[in-house]
Amino acid sequence: MDEVIRVESVVTRFGEQLVHDGVSFAVGRGEVVGLIGGSGSGKSVLLREIIGLMHPTSGRIELLGVNVCAAEPQQMNSVRRHFGVLFQDGALFSSLNVAENVAVPFREHTDLPPNVIAPIVGFNLALVGLPVNASCKSPAQLSGGMRKRVGLARALALEPEVVFLDEPTSGLDPVSARDFGHLVRVLADSLSLTVFIVTHDVDLLVSIIDRVIALARGKIIANGPVNEVRSSTDPWLRDYFSTCG
């Protein structure tokens, strides 16, 4: 397997609280992987460790061949050009309109002039199914589903190899959540993306995920195809999947 993410024996402590107790797994190129776990299990913390925003107490994390726990700032800046992130709330800048939000990665990581950036931004907005007239709107004028799509367009701006999604369907109604999940799967397949999704959405897992990694009690308690994981006898997993027929 051509690995793009490798997590080895990661331990994370916050004072006396042990969040991760020897977490290990790998993600191969082109996979759509879902990370699940109960509230407070450390899912989002682990995502932030993988992308270098936090460091674990011990262990090793490699992203696109780079040890993010030991990388110099310049090295991390280089790696950031090859992955995109959609945070749970979209993390859009309220003072910028939609087009300006999607243009942020180009301004931060490239020397492209505005007249070159503008049509690329328009293409990315179309790629995620947003109409042309959305580009001049502020985030406050958008529905929750549209804000998620803007965040996804921004995450895809620099043609990344890996995309990280933190609870991408949180707050969406069932129809919008289903449509967004379908969009992610289509983009993953058509753009040959590796997608790492932190989620609690059982329907999303069943419909688009290749492999599920389950985090509970500080450890990985399951790692495999959805049908294999949902047949686990672990009490937490049984309760989790009981919400879906």
Q: Is residue 87 part of a domain?
A: no
223 neighbors 213 (Cβ within 8 angstroms): yes
Q: Is residue 175 part of a domain?
A: yes
Domain boundary among 159, 174, 190: 159
Q: Is residue 34 part of a domain?
A: yes
Picking from 39, 91, 108, 85, the residue whose alpha carbon sits closest to that of residue 195 is 85
Burial 32-47 (b: 16+ CB within 10 A, else e): bbbbbbeeebbbbbbb
> What's the structural domain count of the chain?
2
Task: Clarify whether residues 172 and 137 are in a common domain.
Answer: no
Task: Clarify whether residues 189 and 232 are in a common domain.
Answer: yes
**Whole-number pLDDT of residue 245:** 47
Q: What is the CATH number of the domain that holds 230?
A: 3.40.50.300
Q: Domain limits at 15?
A: 3-82+160-241
Q: What is the pLDDT along the chain (245 residues), one digit of tens a residue?
A: 699 999 999 999 999 999 999 999 999 999 999 999 988 899 999 999 999 999 999 999 999 999 999 999 889 988 999 999 998 766 789 899 999 999 999 998 889 999 999 999 999 999 999 988 899 999 999 998 899 999 999 999 999 999 999 999 998 999 999 999 999 999 999 999 999 999 999 999 999 999 999 999 999 999 999 999 999 999 999 999 886 54
Burial 104-142 (b: 16+ CB within 10 A, else e): ebbeeeeeeeeeebeebbbebbebbbbeeebbebebeeb
31 neighbors 210 (Cβ within 8 angstroms): yes
Calculate the dihedral angle through the C-alpha atoms of 93, 82, 226, 186, rounding to the nearest 10 degrees. 70
The string of pLDDT tens digits covering residues 45-59 is 999 999 999 999 999
Q: Is residue 211 part of a domain?
A: yes
